[in-house]
A and B are shown apart, each in its own frame.
Chain A
Amino acid sequence: MQDDVRPALHEFVVKVNEPVAQDTYRLLIEAPELARTIAAGQFMNLQVPGDASHILRIPLSFSCADAAAGTVELVYAVVGEGTARLAAMAPGQRSTLTGPSGTGWRVPEQPGRVLLVAGGVGLPPVIAAARMLAAAGVGFDAVVGARDAAHLYERGVDELRGMAPDQLCDCARRVLVTTDDGSAGIRGFVTQAVEPLLAERTYVQLMACGPAPMLRGVAELADAAQLPCQVSLERLMGCGFGACSCCNVELAAGGYALCCQDGPVFDAKEVVL
C-alpha cells in the first residue's frame, strides 16, 4: 500500500475538447502542477460542472503530460451522463480535479522489449506507458483493439508508431490494430494478434489496459509465455485517493486491495481479473 500518494486539488482550464472517433473525445487541459507531477499510469478525478445531483467525480487516465507546456491530454469515451457533460465543456471553461492518484506503470527491471496491449479507451494510459518506455530507452510493440474503425483513436495509433525508435534493438517496431468486425486492421480481439506476436518475437513483459475480459485473455497468454504482465484496472470510485474503500480489487492471495491507491496498475498475477 502506498500511503505516500498525496493527491492535491488542482484547478484546470479546458484548452481543447474535440471529437477524435465515434463517441470519443480528446481533452487537453491546462493544469501546470499536475502536468509536472503525474506519472504514467496514474489518474485524476475530474469534477464536471452542470449537475449538482451527480456528487462523484469522474476518474480518467491521461495519455500525455507536458510539463513544459503545463498541459495534460486525456482521451475519453462518452458512456453516460457524466462523460456527456464533460464532452459539452468548451475551451476556456474551468473546473477542478484531484490528482495525481494511484500507482502507475513500472519500467521493467530486466532489459528487453515490452508488448503493450490496449482495448477501447484503455488506449490513453497505454500511450502514457509507451512514452515512459521510450523515454527510458526501452523498446516496445503494441496491439490496439477497437470495436470497429469508427471507434478507433487513430491519432493514438500513429503516436505509438512515431515515438522514438528502440535503442536496444534495431528491428522495426510493430503496432497492430484489431477490430471486432475487421473494418480496420486484423479482424478479431486483441488476443488474436497478441498470441502470434508472443510466439514470433521476444518480450520481457506485457502491459495492458482495456475491458476486463480482454485483460483476462492477455494475462492468460502472458502466463502461458511465462512473462510478467502489468494490467491497469477500472473500478467505480468514491474518492479516488484511498479514503473510502469503495474501489476494491480482489487479490489472488485473498482479501482486497484498493484500485485507486494500490493500483490502478497491478501485477496480473496478484489480482483476480
Chain B
Amino acid sequence: MSVNMAVDLGGIAMRNPVNTASGTFGNGVQFEGFYDVGATLGAITCKGVAAQPWDGNPAPRLAELPSAIMNSVGLQNPGVAGFVERYGAYLQGLRERGCAVICQIAGHSLEEYARATELFEELAPWASGFEVNISCPNIAAGGAAMGATPAAAAEVMRTVRPLTSRPVLVKMAPHDVAEIGRALQAEGADALSLINTIPAMALDVRTRRSRLARPTAGLSGPAIHAIAVRMVWECAQAVDLPLCGIGGIASWEDAAEMILAGATAVSVGTANLTDPLAAAHVAEGLERWAAEQGVDSITELVGAAEL
C-alpha cells in the first residue's frame, strides 16, 4: 500500500512535503553530487535574491553553538539578473525533473521588493512561485526588519501581490506569528513559511567581542526546533493558509512533528550542512511514517496532533 505524499503548498504542487530552507541549500546544484535532487525533493527554496547584487556582511559570518549555529551572512546575492544567468538553466531543469522551484525575494525597501518581483516575473518564467523574505533590514528604518509588525508585513505583501499571479509565500520571523500571519492572509498571501532564524548573541569572553562580525546573528539548527514547532502550531490556529514548517528539522521525526503541528510542507535547513543527505532521508522517513499511520494521503496528518 502506498501513501499519496503529494501536497499543495498554496498553489505550488509538491510530489512530497519536503522543501529546503532558503540560504542552506545553495541553489540546489551544490547537492547534485550527493543525490538526485530533482527526483527526490518536493521543492527547493533558493537563496534570497534582491533586484541588485548585495555583498552581505563581513567575516566571520558563522559561529557554532551546542546543537546550533549562528549566521550573519546578510543575504549576499548576485541580484536577480546574475542569479538567473548563473542558475536559471539548472533551476528550469530541476522543475522539469518534477521538483518545484521557489525563488526568494529580498529587499531593503518596498521599491526594492517591487523591482525584484518584476525582474523575477520577467526573467524566471520557470519559477513555481515566490517566497518573500520580510526579515530583510529596512534601510530607511535603521535596519529593523521590513516586516516586523503586522502593518509593515502587510505593506510588503500589498506591494508584491499585484505584481505576480504565481503563488506568493511569506517567510516569517519568529515573533507574533498569529497576528502577522492574519495580516498576511488578509493581503492575499498563498502560504506562510516559518520560522526564520532566531536573533541571538554569542560573545568571546577573552576578547569581549562578538564571535561574529555583527553584534547579533541568527540562531538555527536542532536547538530551535521545539520553538519552531510551537510557532507553527500557533500560526496554524490563527490562519487558514497552508504552512511550511521550518526550524531545526534534522530527521523525519522532526518533520513529522511539524506536520502534526499544522505544517503542510517542511523545509530542511541547517541539517543540510551537517548531513548533505538530510532532506533526502527526511523524504524517505516521512513516507514510511505515513504508511505506518495508516493514512491514504499525507495531508490527513496535517494538524493531526491530538492535544
Which residues of A approach B to under 8 Å, CB–CB? 1, 3, 6-9, 47, 52-57, 98, 235-239, 241-250, 254-256
Closest 10 pairs between A and B when the two form their complex, measured CB to CB: A6-B33, A243-B26, A246-B62, A239-B273, A243-B30, A53-B66, A55-B274, A8-B33, A236-B62, A245-B73
Which residues of B approach A to under 8 Å, CB–CB? 23-26, 29-34, 47, 53, 55-56, 58-64, 66-69, 71, 73, 76, 86, 221-222, 270-277
Contact of B62 among A3, A8, A247 (CB under 8 A): A247
How far is A89 from B218 in the complex, measured between Cα atoms in Å? 33
Residue of B nearest to A3 (CB): B29
CB of B33 within 8 A of CB of A56, answer: no
Max chain A C-beta neighbours (<10 A), residue from B47, B59, B67: B59
How far is A242 from B272 in the complex, measured between Cα atoms in Å? 12
Q: Which residues of A contact B270 (CB under 8 A)?
A: 55
Nearest Cβ in chain A — how far from B49, in angstroms?
Answer: 12
How far is A1 from B26 in the complex, measured between Cα atoms in Å? 13
Indicate whether A9 sits within 8 Å of B66 (C-beta atoms), given known contacts A98-B276, A243-B273, A249-B59. Answer: no
Q: Which residues of B contact A249 (CB under 8 A)?
A: 59
| Sampled A-B contacts (19; CB under 8 Å) | A3-B86, A55-B64, A55-B69, A56-B69, A57-B274, A98-B276, A235-B59, A236-B62, A238-B69, A239-B272, A244-B24, A244-B73, A245-B61, A245-B73, A247-B59, A248-B59, A249-B59, A254-B55, A256-B76
- If A55-B270, A236-B60, A248-B56 are given as contacts, then 15 extra A-B residue pairs at C-beta distance below 8 Å, sorted by A number, are A7-B34, A8-B34, A53-B67, A55-B67, A55-B68, A55-B221, A57-B273, A241-B30, A242-B30, A243-B31, A244-B71, A245-B47, A245-B73, A250-B59, A255-B53
Indicate whether A256 sits within 8 Å of B55 (C-beta atoms), given known contacts A55-B222, A244-B24, A246-B71. Answer: yes
CB of A7 within 8 A of CB of B64, answer: no
Indicate whether A56 sits within 8 Å of B64 (C-beta atoms), given known contacts A255-B55, A256-B56. Answer: yes
Q: Which residues of B contact A241 (CB under 8 A)?
A: 26, 30, 33, 276
CB of B25 within 8 A of CB of A243, answer: yes
Nearest Cβ in chain A — how far from B138, in angstroms?
Answer: 21
Contact of A243 among B62, B71, B272 (CB under 8 A): B272
CB of B76 within 8 A of CB of A245, answer: yes
CB of A238 within 8 A of CB of B273, answer: yes
- Chain A-chain B contacts (Cβ-Cβ < 8 Å), number: 103
How far is A8 from B67 in the complex, measured between Cα atoms in Å? 24
Indicate whether A244 sits within 8 Å of B23 (C-beta atoms), given known contacts A53-B66, A238-B69, A238-B71. Answer: yes
From DSSP, what is the main secondary structure of chain B's interface residues? Answer: loop
Q: Which residues of B contact A57 (CB under 8 A)?
A: 273-274
How far is A249 from B69 in the complex, measured between Cα atoms in Å? 19
Max chain B C-beta neighbours (<10 A), residue from A241, A244, A249, A254: A244
Nearest Cβ in chain B — how far from A239, in angstroms?
Answer: 4
CB of B274 within 8 A of CB of A56, answer: yes
Nearest Cβ in chain B — how far from A98, in angstroms?
Answer: 6
Q: Which residues of B contact A250 (CB under 8 A)?
A: 58-59
How far is A243 from B279 in the complex, measured between Cα atoms in Å? 14
Q: Which residues of A contact B24 (CB under 8 A)?
A: 243-244
Q: Which residues of B contact A238 (CB under 8 A)?
A: 62, 69, 71, 273
How far is A45 from B63 in the complex, measured between Cα atoms in Å? 17
Q: Which residues of B contact A56 (CB under 8 A)?
A: 64, 69, 273-274
How far is A250 from B213 in the complex, measured between Cα atoms in Å? 13
Max chain B C-beta neighbours (<10 A), residue from A9, A47, A55, A249: A55
Q: Which residues of A contact B71 (CB under 8 A)?
A: 238, 244, 246
CB of B26 within 8 A of CB of A242, answer: yes
Q: Which residues of B contact A254 (CB under 8 A)?
A: 55
Q: Which residues of A contact B222 (CB under 8 A)?
A: 55
How far is A9 from B64 in the complex, measured between Cα atoms in Å? 22
Q: Which residues of B contact A8 (CB under 8 A)?
A: 33-34
Nearest Cβ in chain A — how far from B90, in angstroms?
Answer: 8
Q: Which residues of A contact B61 (CB under 8 A)?
A: 245-248
Nearest Cβ in chain A — how far from B45, in angstroms?
Answer: 13
Nearest Cβ in chain B — how far from A27, in angstroms?
Answer: 21
Nearest Cβ in chain A — how far from B68, in angstroms?
Answer: 7
Indicate whether A236 sits within 8 Å of B63 (C-beta atoms), given known contacts A55-B69, A245-B47, A245-B76. Answer: yes
Residue of A nearest to B25 (CB): A243
How far is A235 from B213 in the complex, measured between Cα atoms in Å? 13
Nearest Cβ in chain A — how far from B121, in angstroms?
Answer: 25
How far is A55 from B71 in the complex, measured between Cα atoms in Å? 14
Q: Which residues of B contact A1 (CB under 8 A)?
A: 86
How far is A9 from B68 in the complex, measured between Cα atoms in Å? 22
